[in-house]
Amino acid sequence: MDRQKTKEEVIDALHGVASEMHDKMLRGDPPTMTLPVRSKSNIGFDKKLGVYKYGKKKTVRDATSLGSARQLLRALHITEFIEGMISDGKTSTLREMYYISEGWGHGKFSNQNESNGVSEDLEIVTKCLREDFGLRPEEDGARIIGNVTFEERNRRGDWMRINCRDDVGDSGYGVPYNVESEKLRMIDQDIDFVMAIETGGMFDRLVENGFDEEARCALVHLKGQPARSTRRIMRRMSDEWNKPILVFADCDPWSFRIFASIAYGAIKTAHISEYLATKEATYLGITADDILAYDLPSDDLTKQDLNALEAELSDPRFSTGWWQEQIGLMKEIGKKAEQQSLAKYGLDFVTDTYLPEKLSAMGLSY
Amino acid sequence: MGGLGGDGERVDPAEKLASKQKQISIGEFFEKNKHFLGFDTLQRSIITAVKEAVDNSLDACEEARILPEIKVEIQRLKGDNLKLISQDNGPGIPREDIANVFGKFLLGSRFHAIRQTRGQQGIGITGVVMYSQLTAGAKTKVISKISKDSSAVFVELGIDTRRNKATKSGENREIWFDEKAGEAIPHGLRIETKMKAKYQRGRQSVFQYLRMTSIVNPHASISLVVRDRDGSIIEEGDWPRTSERLPRVVNEIKPHPHGIQTGTLQRMLKESAERKLTSFLRHNFSGVSMRAAREILTEAGLDEGRSPKRISADDVHGMIAAFGKVKLVNPPIDGCLSPIEDLLIKKGLSKAIDSRFASTITRSPKVNQGNPFQIEVGLVFGGDLSSDGPIEVLRFANRVPLMYQQGGCLLTKALEAVDWKRYGLDHPGGKGIPKGPAAVLIHLASTNVQFTSEAKEAVADNEVVFEEIRLAMLEVGRGLKGHLKKSSQRKKAKEKFELINIILPEISKKSSELLSRGEPDLAPIITKIMNAVFCEEELGWDENRGLATCSITIYNYTARARAYTILAKWPEGEGTAISENPLGGNKQARGLWAWRLDTLNPGSATTIHFGVSGLRKGEWSDAEIFYRGNGEVIGATKIDEKLLDELRKAEALVVAEAELEQPKEPISQLKERAELSEVSQTQSLNEGQTNLFEDFTTNDGFEVEE
C-alpha cells in the first residue's frame, strides 16, 4: 500500500480548496469550504476496513459570518505557508506554524488549538496527511528496542541503517514524526511479535530483563495515548512483516481506549484511520481476569472510571463478547490495576511468570 | 457677598439660622451612647466626624444659597491620633451662636422642621467636639466669618458635659486670610480638631463617604487630602462641581397626623400656644380641616375646648388612634422635597464613575403615612467598572450616603427583589446583589426617613417605599436592557463590516494569488452576505465650537434601491438647539427630528450630520435612531406612528393649556412599543402615512426594482 503523495499532488489538492472559494466568488457567491462533519454523529465503523471513518455528512463553511470568513482566510494562509515549505524542502512543527501565523494579519490565530484545527480541516478536505504538508507535532514518537532493522533518511539526505538492538542505547530507537517510505524503510527483522507497552516503567523493566531477546520480540513504548507516527509504524510492522501486535497496558478504562485507537482508529483522526489503525492488534493485559487470577494490588474505580466503562459498553469498538465480558467483570469487582502492580511478586515476575503464561495462552509460547 | 454684608436691613443668613435653634438638654448622653452616634470604633470615628462637619457645611450653604466648596484634610499624628481640618465657604456662624452650635446636643435649625434635610437631628458636630475632648483631651479650634462682620472669630471650644455647655477659650477677632489666594476670606467656617481615630481605606472610608456625597451633591466642590506623619500623601480626592444649580429651596410643612408619634405629639401639645384643641390641630398639622379636627376629637372622646397643655398620656394615645380613623387630606407634596433630578444624578455619577452607559429616573413624589417621599435611581454600566463580583450599591437618604448595614437596608432589599437577569445582569438564583460591571444609586428623599436604628445606617422596612424603589429599578433596568441590546446589535454590524471590508477582500486577493487567477468582483458577493440596510451613528464633540455632534450613516447592502426617513432622538430642552444641520429636515415631536433621504442605490451609503449646541462635553451619550420605510434597518428602530401621533396630540394639548410640564420620557416609549408588537408596527406605519406629513411619507419605503 503506497499512500504517499507527490509534491505536485499535495499542492493540487490544496489548490482545490482555494479553487472552491475562488469559483464561488466568480459566480458572485460568498466563498465556501466543504468538509465532512467532524462529530461523533458522523463517525461510523467501516466494516470493510475494520476501522472508524467519517461518514458522508458534509458541512459547508461559508463566509457569511466573520468567524467562518476568518477560517477561510486562515486556510488560504496555511496553504500558502505549506506551498512555501514544500518548495524549500522544510518542515515545521504545528507550534512553529502557530507562531509564524502571528504575521498573517487578519488571518492570524488566537491560539494553537485554532491553528491545529484548520490544519486538520485541510488534511481531511485534501485527503493528505499532515506529513505531506511538512507539519509535525511537538510530541515525539515512541521508542523501539528489539532485533529489527530500519533505514532512516537523515537530515543530510543519506540513508542510515539502524538495528534497534545493536545500534541503540537503553533508551532504544526514537521513532521520527514521519515514518512513510520516503523517510523510513523496513529492512529486516528477526522477531516473532511486537509488544506495545503503555508505561515507561514497564518498558524499562522488560528492557532490563532482556525480554526482547528472550521472547524474540520488538518492544514499543507507547508513551500513553500513542502519537500518529507510533501507530503508523506499528501498522507498517504488521502489514509489511506480518507480525502480531500485542498491547500491554494498565487495567483501566483509559488504557482500553489506547488499545482501541491502535486497533480501530481514534475519532480525531478518523479521516486517516485506514493508515493508522492496526485491526490485527490484540489486547494482552492487564485484564480484569488478571486482577483476580494473580491477586494484584488494585484501586477502587472512581466515578469517572465507571462512567467511562459505561460509555465503552455502548461503543461499537468494544462490542465483541470478550470486551463486554471484561468490562462487565471490571464493573463487578469495582477495581483497576496498574501494569507495575505485578512487582508485588518481585521484579522478575512479569518476565518469568506473567508474560510467558499470557503468551502461551495466545499460542505464542517461547 | 460684599453688598449683603453692608446692608443693615437684611438679616444675615447665618443669624437667621441660629435664631431658629431650640435647645434640648441631654448633656451626658454622648458618653453613654457613643456607639449610637458613630464613634464606636476608631476607624468609624473619623468618618463620623467628617460626615458631621460636611453635612453641616452642605446644609448651611444650601440654606444660604451658596455653591459649596468644602476642603477636608486629615493628618496622622502619634499613636492612634488624627487631626481633622474641615473648611467651607458657607455663611459662617455669628460669634454669639458658636458656643451653642458646637456645645449642645439636639440643637439645630432642623429639629422641629418637617421637611427634607440632611442632619434632621442636629446631634452632629457637638459629638465631634466632645469625642475630641474625651479621647485626645483637645480643644476644637473654630474660625468663623460671617459676611457682615469685617473680621473673623477665632476661638477654641471644649464641652462641660454635665452642664451641657460649651467652654470657650482664647477667643479673639482677626482678619482670616487665605494664604494661597492672598486675600481675606469673605465668609466661611473652619474646624480643626484632634481625636483618637484610625484612617482606613476601602468601602467604608472617608474617601468613599466624600465620593458618594459628591455624587448626590453635584453642585458642591469637595476635596480630600490625607497625610501620613511625615507629610506624605496617603490618599486624596478631588470632586469638582458639575452643576451650578443649587438644590431647590424646600418648604417646611407641618407634620401630617398620619406620620406622628406619641412622643412628638406629647411635646407639641406641651409647647402649644393654642388654647383649644381644635385650633391646635388645625394650626400644627397639615391636612386637618375644621371638620376633620372635630371628627378627630369626637372619635378620641375629647372636648374641643380643652387646653392642649393639659392632655393626659392616655388621651394622647386616643388622639393618635383617632388620627388613623378619620379621613384626612394628604399633605402638600410639592416643594417640600429636594430630589437631585435625573440629569444631575447622571452628572454626579459620571464624575465619580467612568462608565459607558447611565440610566436615571426621578419618580414623582408620593405620600406614605403622612410623609411625602420621593425615589430616585441611577444605574451606570460598563467602562471601568469591574465585571466580576457584585455591583456597587450606593445608598442615600436625603442626600446623605449610607455606608453601613447594606444587607439590612430597605433600599438594598428592593434592589435585590428585582429579577436582574431579565435586564442583562448576572443574578445567580435571583437572590442577593446582582453581579456585573454596574453600579446602582438609590436615593430616598423624605420629610421623615425611618431608619432601623438610631445610628441611621439602614432604612427600615416599608411596603410603600419598597414598591416605589422596585418600580424605579424596573425603569432603569429597561434602560439597561435597551442599551445592551443595542450594543450587541452594534457589535454584530461591526463584525459584518469587518467581514466585507477586510476579510473578504483578503480572501479574494489570497486565493487569486495562489491560483494565479484574476480577482473576482466583490460587489454582488457583499450584497449577498449583508442583504440588509445598516445604520450606524456616532456621537462626537467639537471642542472648538462647543458643539455635540452626531453622524448617522445608512448603508444599503441590498440588491434594491431604498428610500427612508431617518428620525433621531436628541436632547431638546432649555438652552439646547440644533445649530448645525446641512440636510434640514423637520421636527416631528419634542426631541425628535426627521430627515428624508434621497433614494439609496444598492451598495451606496449616505450620512446625516448635525450638531447640538447648549450641551457640555459628555452630556449626550446615547442617541436613538428610528426609521420610516420598508424592511429592516439594522441599528435603528422602526418608528411607531401610532404612538408618535398620540405624542404629538398630547404635546399640542400641553401647548394649548399653556402647561409647562412635558410628557415624561415620550420617546423611550416609542421604542418599547415598537418592540412589543410587529402587527401594530405595520398597521401604524400605514396610518402614519395617510395622516401625517404627507409630503414626507408618500414616497417613503418604496422599493425600486433594479
Domains and CATH numbers, chain A: 7-136 (1.10.10.10), 143-361 (3.40.1360.10)
Q: How many CB pairs under 8 A join A and B?
A: 79
pLDDT for position B701: 37
For CA atoms B319, B325, B327, B332, give the dihedral sign: positive
Distance, CA of B577 to CA of B557 (rounded, Å): 33
Quickly list DSSP for B217-233.
-TT-EEEEEEE-TTS-E
Considering only the beta carbons, identify the residue of B515, B524, B525 that sits closest to A19. Answer: B515
Report residues of chain B scoring pLDDT below 50. 1-10, 19-27, 107-114, 120-122, 659-665, 673-706
Q: Which CATH class is domain B2-200+218-234?
A: alpha beta
SS3 B411: helix
Asked if A26 is an interface residue toward chain B (Cβ–Cβ < 8 A), one would say: yes
Which residue's entry shows cell 459505561?
A310
Are the beta carbons of A298 and A341 closer than 8 angstroms? yes
Contacts of B521 in chain A (CB under 8 A): 28
**pLDDT 10s digit of each residue in chain A, 366 long?**
345 678 889 999 999 999 999 999 999 999 999 988 876 667 777 777 777 788 888 889 989 899 999 999 999 999 999 999 999 988 899 989 999 999 998 889 988 889 988 998 999 899 888 888 988 887 667 899 999 999 999 888 899 999 999 999 988 999 988 898 888 999 999 999 999 999 999 999 999 999 999 999 999 999 888 988 999 999 999 999 999 999 999 999 999 989 988 998 877 778 888 888 998 899 998 999 999 999 999 999 999 999 999 988 887 778 888 899 999 999 999 999 999 999 999 999 999 999 999 999 888 766
Do the beta carbons of residue B320 and residue B268 sit within 8 Å? no
Q: What is the ipTM of this complex?
A: 0.72
Shortest CA distance from B506: residue in chain A: A73
Taking an 8 Å cut-off on Cβ atoms, the answer to whether A76 and B525 are in contact is no
B515: contact with A, CB 8 A cutoff: yes
Rounded to the nearest angstrom, the minimum Cα separation between A182 and chain B is 27
Contact list in B for residue A21 (CB cut-off 8 A) is 507, 511
Nearest CA distance, B523 vs chain A (angstrom): 8
Contact B38, B455 (CB under 8 A): yes
**Cell numbers 446583589: residue:** B433
Residue type (1 letter), B240: P
Q: Which residue of A has its CA nearest to B523?
A: A28
The CATH number corresponding to B344-482 among 3.40.50.460, 3.30.230.10, 3.40.309.10, 3.40.50.2300 equals 3.30.230.10
- CATH fold for the domain made of B257-325: Helicase, Ruva Protein; domain 3 (1.10.8)
Judging contacts by C-beta atoms under 8 Å, the chain A residues touching residue B525 are 25, 28-31
Q: How far apart are CA A75 and CA B540, in angstroms?
A: 40
Q: Which residue has 460669634 as its cell numbers? A: B95
Any chain A CB within 8 A of the CB of B514? yes
Q: Which of A52, A54, A99, A345 is catalytic?
A: A99
Q: Is A126 on the interface with B (CB under 8 A)?
A: no
Between chains, do A65 and B495 touch, taking CB under 8 Å as contact? yes
Note if A99 is an active site residue.
yes
**Residue B453: per-residue pLDDT:** 79
Do residues A136 and A94 make contact, with C-beta atoms less than 8 angstroms apart?
Answer: yes
The CATH number, out of the four listed (2.60.40.2960, 3.30.70.20, 3.30.70.980, 2.60.110.10), of the domain defined by the range B523-697: 2.60.40.2960
- pTM exceeds 0.80 for this model: no
Domain ranges of chain B: 2-200+218-234, 257-325, 344-482, 523-697
Strand partners, A143: A174, A221
Q: Is B491 exposed, middle or buried (0-12, 13-18, 19+ CB in 10 A)?
A: exposed
User: Mutate which of A10, A17, A23, A76 to disrupt the B interface (most B C-beta within 10 Å)?
Assistant: A76
Amino acid in the structure at residue B518:
G
Residue A75 contacts B where some CB pair is shorter than 8 Å: no
Q: In this complex, do A63 and B517 lie within 8 Å of one another by their Cβ atoms? A: no
Give the nearest partner residue to B529 out of A22, A30, A70, using CB atoms: A30
pLDDT at B674: 45
Which of B147, B110, B129, B117 is CA-nearest to residue B3?
B147
Side chain identity at residue B546, one-letter code: G
Helix axes B678-691, B666-676, angle to 10 degrees: 120
